[in-house]
């Protein structure tokens, strides 16, 4: 039984690795999303200027809430390293997002993907999802954990 479970887990891991490798090899999808003030952000405006960390999240996800708080403490370091942070709420109502952002004191850019356009283009299956995109627009990382090593490698170049 253990061998069967181990084989199943290995198969899942292999599939996820292949999906991640395929994602990393492809370029990013452009989008235009509004923040909570109505200002529009276009992903392509960062190309050839600075790397971008996309952080897809929802208000109902406990792991997302923990990451939102962590990112609130760490986003200044990202900015100092020249990496833009765009926290993209996946498909929720503006009022719910505004209330949570206000209650948590989120200081970084929060975008509304109310129609899940960006979430669908990036094949976001679960949240939180982090996608790190370099200056050229290539995806360097796509996963559910904060890509600390990838960011360190990127900014040390």
Above 60 in pLDDT, residue 22? Answer: no
Q: Work out the average pLDDT over 109-122.
A: 97
In the 8-state DSSP scheme, what is residue 138?
A: B
Q: Backbone phi, then psi, for 90, in 5-degree steps?
A: -95, 95
Q: Which of 149, 140, 141, 155 is nearest to 50 (CA)?
A: 155
Across 4-8, 49-53, 68-72, 110-114, least confident range: 4-8
Q: Can you give the pLDDT at residue 3?
A: 54
Q: In the chain, what are the domain boundaries? A: 2-155
Contact partners, residue 153, CB within 8 Å, separation at least 6: none
Cβ contact 105:72 at 8 Å = yes
CA 79/CA 97 separation, integer angstroms: 23
Determine the CATH number of domain 2-155. 3.40.30.10
């Amino acid at each position: 039984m253990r061998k069967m479970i181990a084989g199943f887990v290995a198969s899942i891991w292999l599939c996820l690795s292949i999906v991640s490798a395929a994602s990393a090899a492809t370029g990013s999808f452009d989008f235009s999303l509004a923040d909570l003030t109505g200002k529009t952000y276009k992903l392509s405006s960062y190309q050839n200027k600075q790397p971008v960390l996309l952080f897809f999240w929802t208000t109902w996800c406990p792991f997302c809430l923990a990451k939102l708080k962590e990112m609130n403490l760490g986003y200044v370091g990202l900015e100092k390293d020249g990496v833009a942070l765009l926290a993209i709420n996946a498909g929720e109502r503006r009022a719910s997002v505004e209330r949570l952002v206000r209650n948590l004191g989120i200081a970084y850019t929060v975008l509304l993907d109310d129609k899940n356009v960006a979430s669908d283009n990036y094949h976001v299956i679960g949240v939180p999802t982090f996608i790190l995109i370099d200056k050229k627009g290539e995806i360097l990382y796509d996963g559910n954990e904060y890509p600390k090593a990838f960011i360190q490698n990127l900014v040390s170049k």
